[in-house]
């Protein structure tokens, strides 16, 4: 027998699990069942692409066996199993993504699905078990191995016996305490309830021997108990079900079960298309950005299934970059199973599906904006930046799709407004969409350049993010109205009288201005008279397309 220590990070995670920051212990079963299902998926997928393996659907199932005498709960599967090496690497270390997430430990708030965040479901077993035993025989090995651990002390591995390929996970439950009851996880009704709640859509049967009761003889009042194996789940994937059968809660549970996020999704879309292309999809708009969303670590993509069989975990081609926050899956019977990644990119069906999905997401976001403003603003808080980058990226190729989805804070009540809202309330004499740039709303409001525009009663958009001005430069105009920075020398507000007055002042003060320009040599290009100042004596302004703020960004960029 070999005795090993857990890797350091695994150890800390285990400690957290055991001390249960997690609100619902019952999800351990969801995690173990989904691992079992993944393992069967793997053997199923192999049989589809490897002729030497045959797949008889009846041979693949998950069994749950409670034993009240031993206080054990066993979850068995007929999946692909694990070799000795796999037991070590899969159960002795936490996944890479998990270790990244782990660093965010301090930001975890109550009630969030920790496991979902880490993607390390197996460890959830330790929330309810004082000892976890894994007996596994791999498809690729003649020997079976037993992995066993009682928590943070480490684990042991030894050779063992097992007849069929697959894995048994045997949990020896913790003793009950005043606060926590673990016995409940041995009760048939409770197990049924948890399976129904979280794992109903699992594609393989989840079987359990249940106790039933029948009359001793026909018409008798005496009853006898008997045992019968029952399948607890309906096995229909959620996306194959009718929308009318499903509640918001079902979609939310599925979101967590699939580890799409640890928040509660803001919105879900259930799409069924049955035309020249056929596909089902469930898409989610998350409420919060994943911690790595605005880093290069973040990988966009949707799960891709062909007739219920997972063929790719993150199909990036299904989502444009500006909708990279969308989570979910697509299942299409028209995709070939043993399609390679390279072929997928060429796939015409996939391109059509991607376009279709993009339009549905856009429409859903517009609906959200129109009908559930508060939710939309929440969404925009988390993901608005990626939409604005979308306007700018690819030389503005997506601006049509995005221009009605972007928002900015404005001088009117300091609230978020859409471009449509801005333009529709522009007074007739206003020619341009005005904006001002700065680090914060407070600083923008103090800018002398905003005075004249504000004085005219014109609304000003506040650009506080670097991307803002680049995005609208790409848009150029919205509904035929051009954008104009308040620091532009030519605001389009001045009357011809005012212009004359400025010219006169410039002539009168020619000597003074030239002297000032000389003193400020290399700092300003020229000094001129302005009519835009009310309370401030001077301000900086620009000529041409690049504003002072853009210059700052451009100068800060590495070249
Ligand atoms: P995840 O499922 O997110 O990969 P888990 O902690 O749930 O993370 O599981 C870790 C790994 O252990 C899995 O990726 C899989 O390789 C392996 N594993 C867990 N349970 C089983 C099982 N029942 N059969 C085969 N492999 C398993
Ligand atoms: Mg898992």
pLDDT one-digit tens code per residue, 291-320: 889 888 899 999 988 777 667 788 999 999
- Compute the distance between CA of residue 86 and CA of residue 329 in angstroms, rounded to an integer: 28
Res 510: pLDDT: 79
Pairing outcome for strands 155-160 and 166-173: unpaired
**Residue whose CA is closest, atom 13 of ligand 1?**
90
Mean pLDDT of the chain: 85
Read off the pLDDT band of 169 (50, 70, 90): very high
- Compute the distance between CA of residue 224 and CA of residue 220 in angstroms, rounded to an integer: 10
DSSP assignment of 494-548 equals: --HHHHHHHHHHHHHTHHHHHHHHHHTTTT-S-----S--SS-S----B-SS--H
What is the whole-number distance in angstroms between the Cα of residue 31 and the centre of ligand 1?
Answer: 9
Q: Averaged over 62-74, what is the pLDDT? A: 97
pTM (two decimals): 0.68
Six token digits for residue 481: 């109205």
What is the whole-number distance in angstroms between the Cα of residue 135 and the centre of ligand 1?
Answer: 13
- CA nearest to 308, candidates 235, 246, 250, 247: 235
Contact between residue 265 and residue 248 where contact means Cβ atoms under 8 Å apart: no
SS3 for 159? strand
**Which of 156-170, 212-226, 260-274 has the highest mean predicted lDDT (pLDDT)?**
156-170
Least confident span in 104-108, 135-139, 271-275, 338-342: 104-108
What is the whole-number distance in angstroms between the Cα of residue 387 and the centre of ligand 1?
Answer: 36
SS3 for 61? coil
**Residue whose CA is closest, atom 12 of ligand 1?**
90
Provide, rounded to the nearest whole percent, the portion of the chain with pLDDT above 90.
51
Say which residue, 102 or 426, is predicted with more confidence. Answer: 426
- Residue 332: pLDDT above 80? yes
Q: Averaged over 46-66, what is the pLDDT? A: 86
pLDDT in tens, 449-463: 888 888 889 999 999
Main-chain phi, psi angles of 189, to 5 degrees? -60, -35
What is the whole-number distance in angstroms between the Cα of residue 184 and the centre of ligand 1?
Answer: 25
Res 521: pLDDT: 78
- Residue 18: pLDDT above 70? no
**Which of 82-86, 520-524, 543-547 has the highest mean predicted lDDT (pLDDT)?**
82-86
Residues with Cβ–ion distance below 5 A, ligand 2: 35, 121
SS3 for 273? strand
- Each residue of 56-95: b (16+ CB within 10 Å) or e? eeeebbbbbebeeeebbbbbbbbbbbbbbebbbebbbbbe
With a Cβ cut-off of 6 Å, ligand 1 is lined by: 31, 35-36, 39, 77, 79-82, 90-91, 95, 119-122, 167
Six token digits for residue 204: 């393989």
Res 384: pLDDT: 96
**Residue whose CA is closest, atom 2 of ligand 1?**
35
- Residue 133: pLDDT above 50? yes
Provide, rounded to the nearest whole percent, the portion of the chain with pLDDT above 70.
85
Res 167: pLDDT: 98
Say which residue, 296 or 116, is predicted with more confidence. Answer: 296
What is the whole-number distance in angstroms between the Cα of residue 134 and the centre of ligand 2?
Answer: 14
Report DSSP state, residue 125.
G
Q: Which atom of ligand 1 is nearest to the CA of 42?
A: 25
What is the whole-number distance in angstroms between the Cα of residue 121 and the centre of ligand 2?
Answer: 4
Mutate to test the pocket of ligand 1, among 35, 97, 149 (most ligand atoms within 8 A of CB): 35
Residues in the chain, overall count = 559
């Amino acid at each position: 027998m070999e005795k090993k220590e857990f890797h350091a990070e695994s150890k800390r995670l285990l400690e957290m699990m055991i001390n249960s920051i997690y609100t619902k212990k019952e999800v351990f079963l969801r995690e173990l069942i989904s691992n079992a299902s993944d393992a069967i998926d793997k053997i199923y997928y192999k049989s589809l692409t490897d002729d030497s393996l045959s797949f008889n659907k009846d041979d693949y199932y998950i069994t749950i066996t409670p034993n009240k005498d031993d206080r054990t709960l066993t979850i068995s599967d007929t999946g692909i199993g694990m070799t000795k090496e796999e037991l070590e690497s899969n159960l002795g270390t936490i996944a890479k993504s998990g270790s990244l997430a782990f660093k965010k430990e301090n930001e975890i708030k109550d009630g969030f699905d920790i496991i979902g965040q880490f993607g390390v479901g197996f460890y959830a077993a330790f929330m309810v078990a004082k000892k976890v035993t894994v007996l596994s025989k791999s498809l690729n090995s003649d020997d079976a191995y037993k992995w066993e651990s009682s928590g943070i002390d480490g684990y042991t591995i030894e050779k063992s016996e097992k007849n069929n390929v697959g894995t048994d996970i045997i949990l020896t439950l913790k003793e009950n305490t005043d606060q926590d009851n673990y016995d409940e996880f041995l009760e048939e009704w409770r197990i049924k309830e948890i399976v129904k709640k979280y794992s109903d859509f699992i594609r393989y049967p989840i079987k359990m021997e249940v106790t039933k009761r029948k009359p001793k003889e026909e018409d008798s009042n005496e009853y006898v108990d008997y045992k019968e194996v029952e399948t607890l789940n309906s096995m229909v994937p959620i996306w194959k079900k009718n929308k009318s059968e499903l509640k918001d809660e079902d979609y939310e549970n599925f979101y967590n079960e699939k580890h799409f996020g640890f928040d509660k999704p803001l919105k879900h879309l259930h799409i069924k298309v049955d035309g020249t292309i056929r596909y089902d999809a469930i898409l989610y708009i998350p409420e919060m950005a994943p911690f790595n969303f605005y880093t290069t670590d973040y990988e966009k993509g949707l799960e891709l299934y062909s007739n219920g069989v997972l063929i790719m975990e993150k199909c990036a081609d299904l989502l444009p970059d500006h909708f990279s926050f969308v989570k979910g899956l697509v299942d299409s019977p028209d995709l070939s199973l043993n399609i390679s990644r390279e072929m997928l990119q060429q796939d015409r069906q996939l391109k059509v599906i991607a376009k279709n999905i993009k339009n549905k997401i856009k429409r859903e976001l517009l609906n959200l904006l129109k009908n559930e403003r508060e939710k939309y603003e929440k969404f925009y808080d988390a993901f608005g930046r990626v939409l604005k980058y979308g306007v700018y990226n690819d030389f503005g190729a997506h601006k049509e799709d995005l221009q009605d989805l972007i928002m900015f804070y404005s001088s009117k009540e300091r609230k978020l407004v859409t471009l449509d809202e801005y333009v529709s309330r522009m007074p007739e004499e206003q020619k341009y969409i005005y904006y001002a740039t700065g680090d914060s709303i407070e600083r923008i409001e103090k800018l002398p350049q905003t005075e004249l525009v504000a004085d005219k009663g014109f609304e000003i958009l506040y650009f506080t993010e670097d991307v803002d001005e680049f995005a609208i430069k790409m848009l150029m105009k919205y509904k035929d109205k051009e954008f104009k920075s308040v620091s532009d020398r030519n605001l389009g507000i001045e009357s011809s009288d005012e212009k004359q007055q400025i010219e006169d002042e410039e002539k009168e003060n020619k000597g003074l201005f030239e002297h000032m320009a000389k003193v400020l040599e290399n700092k300003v290009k020229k000094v001129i008279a302005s009519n835009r100042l009310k309370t401030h004596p001077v301000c900086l302004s620009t000529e041409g397309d690049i504003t002072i703020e853009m210059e700052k960004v451009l100068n800060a960029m590495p070249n």
